[in-house]
Amino acid sequence: MKSYEVNFDGLVGPTHNYGGLSYGNVASQSNSQQSSNPKEAALQGLAKMKALMEMGFQQGVLAPQERPDVGALRRLGFSGTDAQVIEQAAKQAMPLLVANCSASSMWVANAATVSPSADTADGRVHFTAANLNCKYHRSIEHPTTSRVLGAMFADQKHFAHHAALPAVAQFGDEGAANHTRFCREYGEAGVEFFVFGRSAFDTRYPEPQKYPARQTLEASQAVARLHGLSDDGVVYAQQNPAVIDQGVFHNDVIAVGNGEALFYHEDAFLDTEQMLAELSAKLAKCGGQFKAICVPRSQVSVEDAVRSYLFNSQLLSRADGSMLLIVPQECQNNPRVWQYLQELTRSGGLIREVKVFDLKQSMQNGGGPACLRLRVALNETELAAVNPGVIMTAPLYGTLTQWVDKHYRDRMTESDLADPQLLLECRTALDELTQILKLGAVYPFQIN
């Protein structure tokens, strides 16, 4: 049976803004308080989805969340009508209003961890919504994420959904941003690679000194258990704490895998040799041949990797077995990274082509091409069981761009978030969106 990697991209929500909310994420911190352009952000994301669809890849779309999150503000003690809740929060605790307005659900690599049916004990595709417990503004995403994923992958014969892990730092889980899968074919059993930043219960693992390590080993192990993965089908590796301290807040800022290949920076991991040997041995048991593509620090420094987001790229398989790298424009703007990419594609290795996308609006908050997509490997039967409303087509692209043009503002600053009109605009837009994507009622304002 045919199988595919389907990329579900997060549609940028109407409140996209630069809140400076993510300590440890260099772009988020350095662009704090700049004015944003939500309309441009959403159109940039849609342009990438359309381009991949036109290249022949399977492409889907994941809906944004309701923001401002008035329910979350109420849980923090603000009361009255919805407009009064926003007004009080703006007056008394602007940082809380900003956090409750974040459009951060666009980075759907953090929405969930997904295990394809070929890897799981019950032969279903498993999803665990990420608790995103390290940052308040992201920790409020998972209830709606679960409802949206449930509406997209509703058929229980093929899809199993797990609630987010306990919402404590010891089980900090950032979803697919710290998870990669290696396989020969997408439909065959593979090796799931879980990368963690620290251990919550075992003091032998070193920790970063400056910035938080968001993903714990214990969270990764819990997800592997929930999904029914076999020991032979799993490899755990620790991120180098020194790179977390340089701004690598997720492993997908310094490594990306696809098929049998791992493209990574020399300084990305601890115990790299042992990890490569384990990946190679376990993939061989699945009939695959592991291929490591290491980028040496002498050619690209960690700083350049973080600035350019070279590794936050999408590594895609082409029909002839070679691979294509989707990178953000920031890679082209960095002479050392661009030089490296020229040499890489000319070398006759696995990665033959690089395509550049302008995703500046998202990049300025630390979200590149890979952050914006959730990969779901599906066989033909499973793909047919996905809600067809969320699969990208030329007409859907047209409808969504019109929807963005109609509802989104082209400028947003902190003071705009206090405008009670913004809440109404967002709800009107999202109500229409659930009809476009045929999701049913998934937002708090639709179900409460």
Binding residues vs ligand SUG (CB under 6 A): 18-22, 25, 28, 102, 104, 107, 109-110, 138, 177, 249-250, 252-253, 365-367, 371
Q: Is 294 a catalytic residue?
A: no
Residue 406: Cβ within 10 Å count: 10
At closest approach, how far in Å is the CB of 374 from ligand SUG? 10
How far from chain centre, in Å, is Cα 335?
Answer: 27
Q: How far is CA 331 from CA 47, 56, 198, 318, in A?
A: 18, 24, 29, 21
Q: Which of 58, 63, 50, 110 is nearest to 357 (CA)?
A: 50
Q: Catalytic one among 142, 158, 227, 250?
A: 250
Residue 150 assigned ligand-binding role = no
Residue 319 structure tokens: 């029909």
At closest approach, how far in Å is the CB of 123 from ligand SUG? 28
Residue 3 assigned ligand-binding role = no
Rounded to 5°, the CA angle 62-68-69 comes to: 80
| Cβ nearer to ligand SUG, comparing 40 with 382 | 40
Residue 358 assigned ligand-binding role = no
At closest approach, how far in Å is the CB of 95 from ligand SUG? 11
| Cβ nearer to ligand SUG, comparing 11 with 177 | 177
At closest approach, how far in Å is the CB of 330 from ligand SUG? 14
Q: Which of 252, 67, 259, 253 is nearest to 177 (CA)?
A: 252
| Cβ nearer to ligand SUG, comparing 62 with 385 | 62
Residue 232 assigned ligand-binding role = no
At closest approach, how far in Å is the CB of 139 from ligand SUG? 11
Q: Catalytic one among 286, 371, 382, 414?
A: 371
Q: Is 250 a catalytic residue?
A: yes
Q: Is 218 a catalytic residue?
A: no
| Cβ nearer to ligand SUG, comparing 373 with 427 | 373
Torsion angle defined by CA atoms of residues 25, 27, 31 and 32, in that order, rounded to the nearest 10 degrees: -10
Dihedral pair phi/psi, residue 431, rounded to 5°: -60, -45
| Cβ nearer to ligand SUG, comparing 40 with 252 | 252
Amino acid at 431: D
At closest approach, how far in Å is the CB of 41 from ligand SUG? 12
Residue 28 assigned ligand-binding role = yes
Q: Tell me which H or E stretch contains 52.
A: helix 38-54
DSSP-derived secondary structure for 131-198? --TTSHHHHTSHHHHHHHHHHHS--TTTEEEEPPPPSSGGG---GGGGEEEE-SSTTS--EEEEEESB
| Cβ nearer to ligand SUG, comparing 79 with 415 | 415
Residue 164 assigned ligand-binding role = no
Report CA torsion sign: 326, 328, 333, 335: negative
Residue 24 assigned ligand-binding role = yes
Instruction: Name 265's bridge partners.
Output: 295
Q: Which of 263, 267, 247 is nearest to 255 (CA)?
A: 263
Q: Catalytic one among 174, 260, 382, 414?
A: 174
Q: What is the rounded distance in angstroms from the CA atom of residue 423 to the CA atom of residue 443?
A: 13
Residue 25 assigned ligand-binding role = yes
- Residue positions forming the annotated binding site: 19-28, 110, 137-138, 214, 252, 365
Residues taking part in catalysis: 174, 250, 371
- Residue positions forming the annotated binding site for substrate: 19-28, 110, 137-138, 214, 252, 365
